Structure 1
Amino acid sequence: MSIRKIEHIGIRVSALEDSIEFYERVIGLKLLNIIGEVDSDLRLAFLAFPGQDNVEIELISIRGGDDLPNEGRVHHIAFTVSQIEQEYSRIAGLELSGLDREIRTLANESRFFFFNGPDGEKIEFFEPVHLSD
């Protein structure tokens, strides 16, 4: 098989600049490049973690695309974190919508919580059991 890795994850957004700012400020991603001019019907922004560009997030802005179907829309994107209590407090301090009332724990002791991105996309911060030791 010639499939090697996840290239990127695409997320439809309503305001490209606002979403870029959110993913930089809240998640810590770095803007790699933008394809399309400000007045273009289609604009794409690619972001990744600094020094780690093996998987990118692609933000997709389509002017007049409100009537496009929503099938295939990403349900959530998960980021591995350490010190989940500290991250929960930081996100709570930002007063973002959709924040879980508490950190939840899976049967294997991994922990996680969800909150909303700027277009209502679910974002999960996930601390695998081996990171919480």
Structure 2
Amino acid sequence: MKPSHIEHIGIAVKSLDAAIPFYEKAFGLECYAIEEVPEQKVKTAFFMVGQTKIELLESTDPEGPVGKFIEKKGEGVHHVAFAVENLAEKLVSIQEAGVQVIDKTPRKGAEGLNIGFLHPKSTFGVLTELCEDPSK
């Protein structure tokens, strides 16, 4: 597998209302999209930095994955996402290579991307997401 680029870096925050102005003022970035992903119990906000996005993640449920992450570790980097083609095939081949996955098959994520997460136990402690844009 060879990703084409880092698609985004996910950062868990307690409040998008507090975090968005920081990224806008401190870095001069523009929040171009805010989206709720009910299946993942999260609300997201996106910024472009070159070809890479910053995705802020606010939990909509304390029992959701981001809510639990913030409770355990506090705010901060939640995951790194790589852009790939043929995500379903990549998830199969990475499992065959012995990597533990959270998603055995692709699921829908923010911005209409197909996503699949790799377990941090297999990725040196970093929650890793693979993303595919189905429109390409």
* Superposed pair shares fold, TM > 0.5: no
Structure with the larger RCO, 1 or 2 (CA within 8 Å, 6+ apart): 2
* Richer in helix (by share): 2
> Which structure has the bigger radius of gyration?
1
TM-score range, shorter chain: 0.3 to 0.5
